[in-house]
């Protein structure tokens, strides 16, 4: 038998409704049966379940628009309904569920991130299936993750998961949207995610889903850096989850990368949106990538955005490619004063000496 694993299963609205305007409860039973089978095999299962807005629409029985406030109201109506269904279906197998509604703010702030991680681990330790969704009713655009694909990648990092299954209404990532291009072919395995691949992934082909393949690719990119294997597959039909586990289902598999061992570095991968960018030269890129060095002021050529000491920023090259992200030891004003300077000039330029490391190697992750 396979070693015990932590598996995050993300179920898109498309899977939960089968493309209709109602939750497909018969299929939800089938998905629950498989999750319970995985638990019986010794694995831990976490569900990231979309469907609150769809459940709200089904419940309201009145026409309702698609603006942010409409969706927030529908989610407020539907989330209770959704969790109630999951709870009663898992109860058929004697399994408890625990609801966690998160927003971006819960991962941005390190303290809140650790709290969420502790709750998630406690649920798993008590053999409960965590069921996670975005807290849509209160999440405004500033604090939203925005889509459950990216949310599920953050959850996979929080839970130190082995696998993330992104189940949707297509067999995986195709060379273009199969809804509009009948010649599109399935990409079976992805080893590198680059701009060329990103261009293949379009938005949602329906007005039910959020983000389409583009957000699934973003999610795969984040999760695989944290050492999580990611599979995009079709969530309809029998035994889809079990078949994903034994590689029997057609799908797109993203090979995992070596994860940083340090928990803080994993948080940096999942964590806050950057507040600025520091442009670094070729020498600095090579030192970071090949020697695991810290970033010194002399390798900095420019800084964009307004940031303070301790903020998360991206390190970019001259072509705007993000090389790394991390916590800066200087504000944007200070970086602009010391860029290009040698270590022994810093004290003079800033009138105080706080070292020449703009980003310490312990505070950054390479991308």
Ligand X SMILES: N[C@@H](CCC(=O)OP(=O)(O)O)C(=O)O
Please state the residue numbers annotated as binding site. Answer: 10, 50, 136, 148, 168-169, 210-216
Q: CB of 12 within 8 A of CB of 50?
A: yes
Q: Which of residues 204, 274, 277, 294 is near ligand ADP by CB under 6 A?
A: 204
Q: Which stretches of the chain bind ligand X, using CB under 6 A?
A: 12-14, 50-54, 75, 133-134, 136, 147-148, 209-211
Q: What distance lies between CA 146 and its chain's CA centroid?
A: 10
Q: SS3 sequence, 336-355?
A: HHHCCCCHHHHHHHHCCCCC
Q: Which does 39 bind (CB under 5 to 8 A by kind): ligand ADP, ligand X, none?
A: none
Q: How far apart are CA 220 and CA 154, in angstroms?
A: 10
Regarding 201 and contact with ligand ADP (CB under 6 A), the answer is: yes
| # of chain residues touching ligand ADP (CB under 6 A) | 25
Q: Which does 174 bind (CB under 5 to 8 A by kind): ligand X, ligand ADP, none?
A: ligand ADP
Helix axes 148-158, 263-270, angle to 10 degrees: 180
Name the one range near ligand ADP by CB under 6 A: 168-176, 238-246, 281-289, 337-345.
168-176
Regarding 205 and contact with ligand ADP (CB under 6 A), the answer is: yes
Interface positions, 28-57, toward ligand ADP (CB under 6 A): 50
CA-angle at 52, arms to 46 and 54, nearest 5°: 125
User: C-beta of 193: minimal distance to ligand X in Å?
Assistant: 19
User: C-beta of 22: minimal distance to ligand X in Å?
Assistant: 14
Tokens of residue 286, six digits: 């090579």
User: C-beta of 76: minimal distance to ligand ADP in Å?
Assistant: 20
Q: CB of 287 within 8 A of CB of 293?
A: yes
- 237 to each of 23, 139, 169, 249, how far by Cα in Å? 15, 33, 11, 11
User: C-beta of 308: minimal distance to ligand ADP in Å?
Assistant: 36
Q: Which does 133 bind (CB under 5 to 8 A by kind): ligand ADP, ligand X, none?
A: ligand X
Q: Which does 314 bind (CB under 5 to 8 A by kind): ligand ADP, ligand X, none?
A: none
β-strand pairing of 276-280 with 300-304: antiparallel
Interface positions, 140-159, toward ligand ADP (CB under 6 A): none
Regarding 17 and contact with ligand ADP (CB under 6 A), the answer is: no
Give φ, ψ of 46 to 5 degrees. Answer: -125, 130
β-strand pairing of 129-134 with 163-168: unpaired
Shortest-Cβ-distance residue relative to ligand ADP: 12
Q: CB of 137 within 8 A of CB of 56?
A: no
Q: CB of 95 within 8 A of CB of 129?
A: yes
Closer residue to ligand ADP, CB minimum distance, 80 or 146: 146
Name the one range near ligand ADP by CB under 6 A: 65-73, 130-138, 203-211, 324-332.
203-211
Q: What is the largest CA-CA distance in the chain?
A: 71
Q: How far apart are CA 85 and CA 92, in angstroms?
A: 11
User: C-beta of 227: minimal distance to ligand ADP in Å?
Assistant: 23
- Footprint on this chain of ligand ADP (rule: CB under 6 A): 12-15, 50, 168-170, 173-174, 176-179, 200-202, 204-206, 209-213
């Amino acid at each position: 038998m396979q070693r015990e694993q932590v598996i995050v299963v993300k179920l898109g609205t498309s899977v939960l409704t089968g493309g209709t305007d109602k939750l497909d409860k018969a299929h939800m039973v089938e998905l629950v049966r498989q999750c319970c089978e995985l638990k019986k095999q010794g694995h831990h299962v976490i569900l990231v379940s979309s469907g609150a807005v769809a459940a709200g629409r089904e419940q309201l029985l009145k026409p309702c628009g698609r603006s942010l406030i409409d969706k927030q109201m529908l989610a407020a109506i539907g989330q209770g309904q959704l969790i109630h269904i999951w709870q009663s279906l898992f109860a058929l197998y004697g399994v408890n569920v625990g609801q966690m509604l998160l927003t971006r703010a819960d991962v941005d702030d390190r303290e809140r991130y650790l709290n969420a991680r502790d709750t998630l681990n406690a649920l798993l330790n008590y053999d409960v299936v965590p069921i996670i969704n975005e807290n849509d009713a209160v999440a405004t655009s500033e604090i939203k993750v925005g889509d459950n694909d990216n949310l599920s990648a953050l959850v996979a990092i929080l839970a130190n998961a082995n696998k993330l299954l992104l189940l949707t209404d297509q067999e995986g990532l195709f060379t273009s949207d199969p809804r509009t291009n009948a010649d599109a072919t399935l990409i079976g395995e992805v080893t590198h995610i680059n701009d060329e691949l990103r261009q293949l992934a379009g938005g949602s082909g329906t007005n039910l889903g959020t983000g389409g393949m583009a957000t699934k690719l973003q999610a795969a990119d984040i999760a695989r850096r944290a050492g999580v294997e990611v599979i995009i597959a079709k969530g309809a039909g029998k035994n889809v989850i079990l078949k994903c586990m034994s590689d029997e289902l057609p799908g797109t598999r993203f090979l995992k990368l070596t994860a940083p061992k340090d928990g803080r570095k994993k948080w940096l991968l999942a964590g806050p949106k950057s507040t600025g960018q520091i442009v670094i030269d070729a020498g600095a890129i090579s030192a970071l990538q090949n020697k695991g060095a810290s970033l010194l002021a002399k390798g900095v050529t420019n800084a964009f955005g307004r940031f303070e000491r301790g903020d998360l920023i991206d390190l970019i090259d001259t072509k705007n490619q993000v090389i790394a992200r991390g916590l800066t030891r200087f504000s944007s004003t200070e970086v602009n004063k010391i860029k290009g300077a040698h270590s022994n000039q810093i004290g003079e330029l800033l009138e105080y000496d706080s070292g020449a490391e703009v980003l310490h190697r312990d505070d950054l992750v390479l991308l």
